[in-house]
Structure 1
Amino acid sequence: MSSTRCAVIGVGYLGKFHAQKYAALPNADLIAVVDASPQQAAAVAADCHCRALTDYKELLGKVDAVSIAVPTTLHFQVAKDFLEHGTHVLVEKPITVTVEEAAELNRIARDKGVILQVGHLERFNAALMDLADRNIRPLFIESHRLAPFKPRATDVNVVLDLMIHDIDIILDMVRSPLKSIAASGAQVLSQAVDIANARLEFENGCVANVTSSRVSMKSERKMRIFEPSAYISVDFQNRGLSIHRVGEREMFPGIPEITSEESFFDESDALKAEIIAFLKAIQEGAPVIVSGEDGQRALETAIRITDLVLRNARVLR
């Protein structure tokens, strides 16, 4: 299999892991890492045995694919420059700051015939990937994504930081246009919204209740899915999948039995799986699991939720 010339733009907390994955894969040739901090770039480059740069423009037209893990405000310009030079792009979530920017990146990717993938990492969770192979028809979905406060993530609010993972998963799972959204939330520790709840109603009748907090005393990433005659629980944190269905026999007269199937998956490397999928789409033409259009759709919904949260917070004051 031919090797793809790759680079990572932004090698801070998350970007350095991208670089390590590329460096370890036999079908990737990590050419360089780029960071505004010369010291950080040099440290990661030494670990991954590649060049260290501080200006990504030195790589335009010289690599086949890049991961972009710079601050969200820089996603659009950096991704645009690489896409326009015919480079495949894996950009961290959220795809951009605005929907208009996301639409422009998708247009360029289509015009240039290159791949634009968005780093919604939870799609590569082993439990969710197992569920993706099953034909489910959600009627009601409830998700909770709770985490302790981390100062490094405060450049965006909790909707764009945490909830957007579940928004992306739910939109992909339901596959129906949104009919309405209701949302509320509050600032607690940062200058942005730190806890939020949204109710999404879809045209096919499905309803999703989504809660995210980054000021919790515990970590929890769970989604509960109710469909005709079945209840499914996905534990993203512990990679667990529980499926409870109405059985053929009776538990009591007139009351059907409940059959249960529970699976736990070995610890897996979701980021490695994400990058492998990106390279497979480039090298083999495999479907893009989280496309630029998926990223744009999740961003648009997250922005609508954020606007509603801020509007309702002003009303309460």
Structure 2
Amino acid sequence: MTGKLRCAVVGTGHLGRWHADKYAALPDCELVGVVDVDQEAGRAVADKHNVPLYDDHLAIIGEVDAVSIAAPTSLHYRIARDFLSAGVHVLVEKPITTTLAEADELIELAARHGARLQVGHLERFNAALMDLDLQNQPPRFIECHRLAPFKPRATDVSVVLDLMIHDIDIILSLVDETPERIDAKGVPVLTGDTDIANARLQFPGGCVANVTASRVSMKMERKMRLFLPNGYVSVDFQNRVLTRHQPGEREMFPGIPEIVSEESVFEDGDALMAEIRDFVACIREGRRPLVDGQAGRRALATAIQISEQLSA
């Protein structure tokens, strides 16, 4: 594809307005409009970038090459279906949809119409994670904590689909297996849905992942710890810090090697810009997105299994 990519954003809330900013900043893209039924929120973004505001996503089909969908999760399927059916490339925020049947249809539509379908699992583009190299060492144990204070947005889904799914997606990409057993517990605190949850995932190859997510905590924390056959790695997503620990040449105690640590700090990471750049590059180069529809579906499938245990 030559020339500027005509882009639009559907949903101008917390994430949507940032998507609009990124498209507007890219020299090979043109933000041609934003869509939101909330005219006040949409007008602020449209005026900022001097583009039209629409209250119906169908109105811009034929006017765009690619869209970001940052609308509520319950609307992802319907909106993405309409764009993919018209051959428009879609970056849809996570989770991809609310059901696996909906996800399967979007994946099929993208393939049939030659459109790229990317899912907005933003942490995959965190600079600390992107620098992670396990050196062909499969993780033996993974510990994740994703904690956040309560915010009224995204309460249309449980903490599993809101926060935990980030870590689920990363774990599945690193282990590259489907869990053979899942044990999960969670409770509602401030909403009618689960606000804090823990899940233990066991994989056929022997890896175990323990994942905790809370949206009712007093602090922010987004960390993942990976225990490898020959070392330990910590990823701090919030501060973009990657710390590697591995045995050294000396002994800490007789027969016990010392632990040598190395810390890498990534101060200038812009995960959303990296994600959108990847989306645009996939469209131009005809390649598969880092987080494609299948990856989004895989994370959703595990999240649904966890959610079903929590509601049982």
Question: Does the TM-score normalized on the shorter chain lie above 0.5?
Answer: yes
Question: What is residue 40 of structure 2 aligned with on the other side?
Answer: 39
Question: What is residue 91 of structure 2 aligned with on the other side?
Answer: 90
Which residue identity is paired with 1:205? Answer: G
Which residue identity is paired with 1:46? Answer: D
Question: What is residue 143 of structure 1 aligned with on the other side?
Answer: 144
Structure 2 SS opposite 1:181: strand
Q: Which moved more, 1:153-162 or 1:247-256?
A: 247-256
How far 1:252 moved relative to its partner? 2.9
How far 1:257 moved relative to its partner? 1.9
Q: Does 1:305 align with 2:306?
A: yes
Q: How far, CA to CA, are the matches of 2:78 and 2:128 in structure 1?
A: 34
How far 1:132 moved relative to its partner? 5.0
Q: Does 1:228 align with 2:229?
A: yes
Deviations 1:186-239 (CA, angstroms, capped at 9, x unpaired) = 011101000000000011110000000011111100000001020101111111
Question: What is residue 211 of structure 2 aligned with on the other side?
Answer: 210
**Does the 8 Å CA contact 2:33/2:54 hold for their aligned counterparts?**
yes
How far 1:55 moved relative to its partner? 1.1
Question: What is residue 195 of structure 2 aligned with on the other side?
Answer: 194
Question: What is residue 114 of structure 2 aligned with on the other side?
Answer: 113
Q: How far, CA to CA, are the matches of 1:7 and 1:133 in structure 2?
A: 37
Question: What is residue 77 of structure 1 aligned with on the other side?
Answer: 78
How far 1:2 moved relative to its partner? 2.6
Runs ≥4 residues deviating over 4 A: none
Q: Which moved more, 1:127-136 or 1:300-309?
A: 127-136
Q: Which moved more, 1:258-267 or 1:218-227?
A: 258-267
Deviations 1:3-34 (CA, angstroms, capped at 9, x unpaired) = 11111011112111111110111011111101
Q: Please tell me the root mean square deviation across aligned C-alpha atoms, in Å.
A: 1.2
Q: How far, CA to CA, are the matches of 1:79 and 1:132 in structure 2?
A: 34
Question: What is residue 57 of structure 1 aligned with on the other side?
Answer: 58
**Does the 8 Å CA contact 1:5/1:28 hold for their aligned counterparts?**
yes
Residue ranges of structure 1 left out of the alignment (5+ in a row): 312-317
Question: What is residue 185 of structure 1 aligned with on the other side?
Answer: 186
CA distance 1:213–1:8, change in 2 (3 Å): same
Structure 1 SS opposite 2:276: helix
Percent same amino acid among aligned pairs? 60
Structure 2 SS opposite 1:152: coil
| TM superposition score normalised by structure 1 | 0.95
Question: What is residue 23 of structure 2 aligned with on the other side?
Answer: 22
CA distance 1:279–1:231, change in 2 (3 Å): same
Question: What is residue 130 of structure 1 aligned with on the other side?
Answer: 131
Residue ranges of structure 2 left out of the alignment (5+ in a row): none
Question: What is residue 314 of structure 1 aligned with on the other side?
Answer: none
CA distance 1:134–1:17, change in 2 (3 Å): farther
How far 1:284 moved relative to its partner? 2.0
Trace 1:234-313 onto structure 2 (pairs within 5 A). 234-311=235-312
How far 1:133 moved relative to its partner? 7.7
How far 1:302 moved relative to its partner? 0.5
How far 1:123 moved relative to its partner? 0.7
Q: How far, CA to CA, are the matches of 2:155 and 2:185 in structure 1?
A: 19
| TM superposition score normalised by structure 2 | 0.97
Q: How far, CA to CA, are the matches of 2:260 and 2:159 in structure 1?
A: 37
Q: How far, CA to CA, are the matches of 1:132 and 1:288 in structure 2?
A: 20
Which residue identity is paired with 2:33? Answer: A
Deviations 1:49-98 (CA, angstroms, capped at 9, x unpaired) = 21111111011132110000111111001000000000000000111011
How far 1:169 moved relative to its partner? 0.4
**Does the 8 Å CA contact 2:186/2:197 hold for their aligned counterparts?**
yes
Question: What is residue 158 of structure 2 aligned with on the other side?
Answer: 157
Q: How far, CA to CA, are the matches of 1:37 and 1:101 in structure 2?
A: 25
Structure 1 SS opposite 2:264: strand
